[in-house]
Amino acid sequence: MKKWNKLIVFSIITVLLFAIVPQKAAANVSVSARNAILIEQESGRILYEKAANDQNRIASITKIMTAVLAIESGKLEDMVKISESAVKAEGSSVYLKPGEEVKLEDLVYGLMLRSGNDAAVAIAEYVGGSLDGFVYLMNQKADEIGMKNTRFANPHGLDDHENHLSTAFDMAILTRYAMENETYQKIVGTEVHRAPNPTESWDRVWKNKNRLLTGLYKYTTGGKTGYTKRAKRTLVSSASKDNLDLIAVTLNGPDDWNDHIQMYENGFDHYQKVEVLSKGTIEKIEDDFYKGKVYLHSAFTYPVTKEEKGSFEVEYKLIKPKEDWEDHARVPEIVGKAVVYFENEKVKSLPIFYQQPERKENQSFFDYFRSLFTSIVGVRTDD
């Protein structure tokens, strides 16, 4: 009987511990996808992941990179002559015609809204000079932004190469990078786009295939769909609510629309941005030389749960003042850095700037020099 009493007591203690100890918000998420990730856009913090670093086929979410390179080429206003090879691209199409001329910007809309493989080839040939040249640019950009487990072999994601692979994490990195571009944001956030049709009397009208954007989830701001027989369903999306911008990626997700909604709802319910560092004068600096004279150009915010709000530490590292700094003109613009730690891990480093005294309007040179001197020795004067 005593043995059973001990077991009962142990069970009660275990239940109480689980109730008291904060559990990860991500524990409430269960997705159908083989690989998935949810990140906060500004900080890049991972809020949920499932086999996010496993390499797999990615299908048409490849076109996010194709769109980025087209936008960054600076040629969106150029007219692109459509080749026979572009028209012959297999799979989804915007029905381009050989020899017609289409603005590069419209090709990017056709690429992202309707997933046109013909548009992908036309973009690649124009921006990269050839398919091979464009693929080289794709991989170069992937390396540049930190996509460590990605290899592109075509501009559209069709299963015509065995080494065309990426991960959910890498595609989140790419989307985070892409969403920093306002033109990209505008294109992927467009529900319907009209493009001139040079050989017909009517415009081309393209409706976005991203059902999250067009009605399923009101907080959606963009994304890209994908499907091939070997990759299955792939999906990248972005959503914003209450000043929180999130990015979700799923690979091989049979119920991807609901996967993304579930990840977003969980993220928005459990996380909020907190301001860790404020823009402007750093009040916590006590050093006599720097006090009241150093500042941050921008604030720093980070997404946390309620239980995590007290998990930050900030370390201020300042250059030791030199003797010749009594002449303020010799003080460098940047005099240190503010290092933010979250749960003992470094998450951000911001430069600390030195505020040079400014000469006030109608202030004589003598008065300006005197205010400079008094600021150096720590004497304050009232106006």
Cα first-last separation, the chain: 84
How many Å apart are CA 248 and CA 41, to the nearest integer? 10
Q: Name the helix (H) or strand (E) containing 246.
A: strand 244-251
Q: Is 13 helix (H, G, I), strand (E, B) or coil?
A: helix
Answer for the pair 259, 32: CB distance below 8 angstroms, yes or no: yes
Region of 336 on the Ramachandran plot (φ > 0 left; ψ -120 to 50 alpha; else beta): left
Q: How many C-alpha atoms does 269 have within 13 Å on its Cβ side?
A: 12
Q: Is 3 annotated as a binding residue?
A: no
Per the annotation, the verdict on 115 as an active-site residue is yes
Q: Name the helix (H) or strand (E) containing 241.
A: strand 232-241
* Residue of 43, 50, 63, 92 marked active site: 63
CB-count exposure of residue 10 (10 Å: 0-12, 13-18, 19+) = exposed
At 309, list the tokens: 């709000």
How many Å apart are CA 141 and CA 150, to the nearest integer? 11
At 139, list the tokens: 């991989």
Per the annotation, the verdict on 240 as an active-site residue is no
Answer for the pair 37, 248: CB distance below 8 angstroms, yes or no: yes
At 14, list the tokens: 């275990």
* Residue of 43, 115, 166, 238 marked active site: 115
Q: Name the helix (H) or strand (E) containing 85.
A: helix 84-87
**DSSP of 39-81, one letter per residue?**
EETTT--EEEEESTT--B--GGGGHHHHHHHHHHTT-TTSEEE
How many helices and strands, by DSSP H and E, does the chain display?
A: 11, 16
Per the annotation, the verdict on 32 as an active-site residue is no
* Residue of 43, 60, 166, 238 marked active site: 60
Answer for the pair 334, 351: CB distance below 8 angstroms, yes or no: yes
Annotated binding site for substrate: 224
Q: Cite the active site residues.
A: 60, 63, 115
Annotated binding site: 224
